[in-house]
Amino acid sequence: MAFDFDLFVIGAGSGGVRAARFAAGFGARVAVAESRYLGGTCVNVGCVPKKLLVYGAHYSEDFEQARGFGWNAGEPSFDWPTLIANKNREIERLNGIYRNLLVNSGVTLLEGHARILDPHKVEVNGKAYSAANILVATGGWPQVPDIPGKEHAITSNEAFFLKQLPRRVLVVGGGYIAVEFASIFNGMGAQTTQVYRGPLFLRGFDQGVREHLRDELTKKGIDLRFNSEVTRIDKQADGTLAATLKDGAVIQADCVFYATGRRPMLDNLGLENTAVKLGKDGFIEVDDEYRTAEPSILAIGDVIGRVPLTPVALAEGMAVARRLFRPEEYRKVDYQLIPTAVFSLPNIGTVGMTTEEARAAGHEVKLYESRFRPMKLTLTESQERTLMKLIVDAKTDRVLGVHMVGPDAGEIVQGIAIALKAGATKQVFDETIGIHPTAAEEFVTLRTPVAQ
């Protein structure tokens, strides 16, 4: 049977665009449908605008710290609408780049909602297209728990477009998005409270890292409330939101921001017309080559709920394109040692095992740790401290995990991730000459293990 396309991609986000472009580059006839925004979550309401806001939020400290170096720029003031307008302009520019990338690589771009009609047919804007393969790359969507007054809460989707900076913000959640937005709002000058139902935020990160960040965010004035939960939100006559916590306390805020998890985006996708199966959390189930239970349908990225990060979606998109259309270059995605950052202020950068994971996996571990005040802050009033941590297998000397909390942690740990991928031992770290004076050199000068 002749199909209209060799590959029909649903969703022009991180994974979908990568798969489409590479497949077209390998000579396949490819279509992409996008219902909302080119570039997907990362470009429009995720990584990119988030990082721009984090940069914006850091300026409050920069102005403060500049005084220690003799600069006096007067009383700084901040204008949220200017930042948002400039951010929007930059995102529009990126949307245009994504459009060009697709069109110039010969991909047919269909702007509209895609619905699967049968295992080889997709409908967009009332027209049906047939395809040998369909790739679902529809991403995720924020989820707010069902509590009274949930309609008064916003999520990351709305936060990027707030007209004004709220004076008081309540952030609900303990994952990286919640932590990052707490830093953003706090850095911009909003009175910020963060509520999380567990005993400490950033579950899954190294315990020492979590505690260090807790202390740093507290120093910066964020009111952290753990083991706490919002039970209802009421809007008062003057527009103020009153969030009641489970212990009865009430927090008054102008904005209640939820980052309590994301669900797969499957709305009106037509999966009921296929044999595609969902896992227990509702994400699409795939095998290790991204095949669903329906042989002609594949899925990648956040919608499969594996590792919801842009570089992972990109790698999965590339793997699908290669396996289908350039099998001689196909390599499986390696999910080991994925480095990651949290763009809180200060940042976290991490790769490899946490102390708890290493011990649970049966490693006898040696821990190396350094806590210090970064040189850049020594002339300032800032009491922010950096944490650097290495987790080493005592028997093999192999470095199992590297963790940092401090300025540019993501930038530093990205490089170290390459060393870990290459199997670096602690001896290799020790034999590496430092770059002086930097914070990063601390990673190659950690000589004495800390007490276990």
Ligand X SMILES: Cc1cc2nc3c(=O)[nH]c(=O)nc-3n(C[C@H](O)[C@H](O)[C@H](O)COP(=O)(O)OP(=O)(O)OC[C@H]3O[C@@H](n4cnc5c(N)ncnc54)[C@H](O)[C@@H]3O)c2cc1C
Positions in the binding site for ligand X (CB under 6 A): 10-16, 33-37, 40-42, 46-47, 50, 113-114, 137-140, 156, 177, 265, 269, 301-303, 308-311, 313
On whether 305 is known to bind a ligand per the annotation, the reply is no
Nearer to ligand X, 114 or 388 (CB): 114
Nearer to ligand X, 213 or 377 (CB): 213
Q: Minimal CA–CA distance to 225: which of 176, 178, 283?
A: 178
Q: How far is the CB of 6 from ligand X (least distance, A)?
A: 19
Q: Minimal CA–CA distance to 246: which of 256, 260, 232, 267?
A: 232
- The sign of the torsion formed by the CA atoms of 87, 90, 91, 92 equals positive
Residue 441 backbone phi and psi in degrees, to 5:
-60, -20
- For residue 174, how many other CB atoms are within 10 A of its CB? 23
Q: How far is the CB of 149 from ligand X (least distance, A)?
A: 23
On whether 294 is known to bind a ligand per the annotation, the reply is no
Per 3-state DSSP, the chain is made up of helix, strand and coil in percentages (nearest 5) of 35, 25, 40
On whether 15 is known to bind a ligand per the annotation, the reply is no
Nearer to ligand X, 53 or 190 (CB): 53
Would you call 109 helix, strand, or coil by DSSP? strand
Nearer to ligand X, 258 or 429 (CB): 258
On whether 177 is known to bind a ligand per the annotation, the reply is yes
Q: How far is the CB of 40 from ligand X (least distance, A)?
A: 2
On whether 302 is known to bind a ligand per the annotation, the reply is yes
The distance of Cα 438 from the centroid of its chain, to the nearest Å, equals 27
Q: Which two tokens stand for residue 114?
A: 């895609």
Residue 355: Cβ-neighbour burial (10 angstroms; 0-12, 13-18, 19+)? buried
Dist CA 280 CA 161 (whole Å): 33
Nearer to ligand X, 299 or 377 (CB): 299
Contacts of 98 (CB under 8 A, 6+ apart): 12, 17, 38, 39, 43
Q: How far is the CB of 212 from ligand X (least distance, A)?
A: 20
On whether 179 is known to bind a ligand per the annotation, the reply is yes
Residue whose entry in the numeric block shows the structure tokens 């077209």? 24
On whether 174 is known to bind a ligand per the annotation, the reply is yes
Residue whose entry in the numeric block shows the structure tokens 């022009």? 12
Contact 395, 364 (CB under 8 A): yes
Nearer to ligand X, 351 or 365 (CB): 351
On whether 270 is known to bind a ligand per the annotation, the reply is no
Nearer to ligand X, 76 or 112 (CB): 112
Strands 365-372 and 386-393: antiparallel
Give Cα separations from 168 to 29, 160, 164, 271 (angstroms). Answer: 51, 16, 12, 42
Q: How far is the CB of 204 from ligand X (least distance, A)?
A: 15
Q: How far is the CB of 50 from ligand X (least distance, A)?
A: 5
Does residue 212 carry a catalytic annotation?
A: no
Catalytic residue among 58, 113, 152, 436: 436
User: Which residue's CB atom is positioned nearest to ligand X?
Assistant: 13
Q: How far is the CB of 303 from ligand X (least distance, A)?
A: 6
Contacts of 232 (CB under 8 A, 6+ apart): 147, 148, 149, 243, 244
Residues with a catalytic annotation lie at 436
- Numbered residues of the known binding site: 51, 173-180, 261, 302
Q: Which residues are annotated as a binding site for FAD?
A: 51, 302
Annotated binding site for NAD(+): 173-180, 261
